[in-house]
Structure 1
């Protein structure tokens, strides 16, 4: 048995690694049942082409990436300003912003892992455009893009999509990361993520994919079993800064990670994916390095990682697995999606 603390430099907190706990007896809840069959088109899905959404708007017969304003947004451009003043030391403020949905493809039964290389690159180009458009607005201080995938994270609609929240505030994780990165830059005149990449390459065991300008790895300080970072090697504050060549490289590494996720247990792999991009509040944010983080909730097939006493009560993450072991598992599976392996052989 081993007990180890690992420092998470982007969050400035310790992660407790106790990998032997992953094999402890478990009598709690699991995710049961075989993979559900999903049709190419669902007439009841509000994201499929030609269907009418809850707002009464009918989707176009789109063929590629489709973006629209969320029909049930969590923030709005006309958030009420005449809020009642709370008692005592409490404060409140309008939650202003724009919420959008990005559909990856008209196919209801596809996932990001199953898209073609050109489709993934087109999606990233769309994200670039959305960041530039929304981030350029004076009332927007942060553009958060994220995908929740799978029933394990509470998603009821399998149609491949992500969401964008462009808000008048900066989400706390990014606010902290920006402050930590800026302080590291001031102290070292180097980017924190650049040093993280250098450390991962020096070790090598946790790298999942790499090409000329992009890299993916399970970080040394991973909190979730299969937590993965996808990072451009050059220090760009946001996806908008990537050149056409860098975008292409990044899309290839991102897609390979997705395929390895699905191939691990031959199932659509659930996760929360978040794009960590610099705030758009007009500040310099020196040292901030754009990257994508994946936080998968499963530590074994159908077995969830529950956040309990250490995380919720104590505020420190306890990892039941070793990042080195989990990286080895992902590297051992093919880089061709299990659903399309036969097609790849046929075209070889």
Structure 2
């Protein structure tokens, strides 16, 4: 009989159709690899040199208003531009390229330079979620846009160049790879079983309970059965929602509250500001009906054993498939305990 907490095995990611190798017996191996420097840097409430703080001059010469809660603007160095031509090139089906127009926005969560989601009151996070909803609706109505990706990179380990609490919104003309994979799997599940994949998955996880991190009336945070990163989590609304435009006031509050709980658990886990990449997946913005799509959030944090040891995707993981030692169940247990810490 397969022992999921002891034997090496593969787990299927039901959202993407990909597999992850789990090797729980390796958690006892000694670590002699790279450790990250742990820096405790005092961050001021206001930084006169920060291009995101209220009233400051940005790199492109614009000056931020003296904003008092949330603030959004077009990215000064956008990866996507709306006037990019859509022409394609194709050489024998082997050298293929297509122009990709789009729009990029930056969202400041707070005028305070020293805050993070984990330290913000839920009421302040609600303003962030409400702004995400408004931005999604505006971009969703733009005929240029086919998909809207909201994401946050927290910490220098994840490439964040500025500690000011903020996230980005990249709105693309085409559907990105991860959304395409998830869309296919969710559509197939609805077609074959007549029900929503993530509604069914959430019901199963709630029944088992072993991978639940925290929950409220509207959302559940859990470590997915197929998690790749050591302390990866997924946020799922209890009610079927395809995108942020379907959120009411209760949904906005529930998402803000669950974001607060998860980010506090991360910071408590190793008693350090926990780095991560976080983002939300929702239905495409192509004007079509997508009843199979279930809104959800992903947290991908890199820390492995402590505040100074991170997980690297190398070797077999780059050439074969992702691998993890800590099981999803033990990760969820540790995160649950961290919330209470």
- Tell whether the structures are fold-level matches, with TM greater than 0.5: yes
Q: How well do the aligned residues superpose, as a CA RMSD in angstroms?
A: 1.5
1:80 offset after TM fit, Å?
Answer: 4.0
Structure 1 residue ranges without an equivalent (≥5): 337-348
Q: Specify the SS of the correspondent of 2:148.
A: strand
Give the Å deviation of 1:324: 1.0
User: 1:231 touches 1:250 (CA, 8 Å); kept in 2?
Assistant: no
Secondary structure in 2 matching 1:43: coil
Alpha-carbon distance in 1 for matches of 2:38, 2:247: 41
> SS at the partner of 1:55?
coil
The answer for the alignment partner of 1:294 in structure 2 is 299
Q: Give the whole-Å Cα distance in 2 for the aligned partners of 1:334 and 1:161.
A: 23
Partner of 1:260: 265
Q: Name 2:314's counterpart in structure 1.
A: 308
1:79 aligns with 2:87: no
User: In the superposition, relative to structure 1, how do residues 100 and 335 fare at CA in structure 2: closer, same or farther (>3 Å)?
Assistant: farther
Distance in 1 separating the partners of 2:44 and 2:68 = 17
- Give the Cα–Cα distance (whole angstroms) in 1 for the partners of residues 276 and 268 of structure 2: 14
Q: Which moved further from structure 2: 62-71 or 37-46?
A: 37-46
- Give me the whole-angstrom Cα distance separating, in 2, the residues matched to 1:34 and 1:282: 47
- State the match for 2:202 in structure 1: 197
* Structure 1 residue 283, shift from structure 2 partner: 2.3
The change in CA–CA distance for 1:206 and 1:160 in structure 2 (over 3 A counts) is same
- Name the structure 2 match of 1:70: 75
Tell whether 2:113 aligns with 1:117.
no
Q: 2:338 aligns with which of 323, 333, 337?
A: 333
Shift of 1:23: 3.4
Task: Give the unaligned 5+ runs of structure 2.
Answer: 1-5
Count of matched residue positions in the alignment of Structure 1 and Structure 2: 334
Pick which of 15-24 and 301-310 moved more: 15-24
- 1:65–1:104 contact (8 Å) kept in structure 2: yes
1:241-267 CA distance string (max 9 Å, x none)? 122112212221221111111111111
Instruction: Name the counterpart of 1:346.
Output: none
> When the two structures are superposed, what TM-score results if normalisation uses the length of structure 1?
0.92
- TM-score normalised per structure 2: 0.94
The whole-number CA distance in structure 1 between the counterparts of 2:113 and 2:164 is: 5
1:171 matches 2:167: no
* Contact 2:86–2:101 (CA under 8 A) maintained in structure 1: no
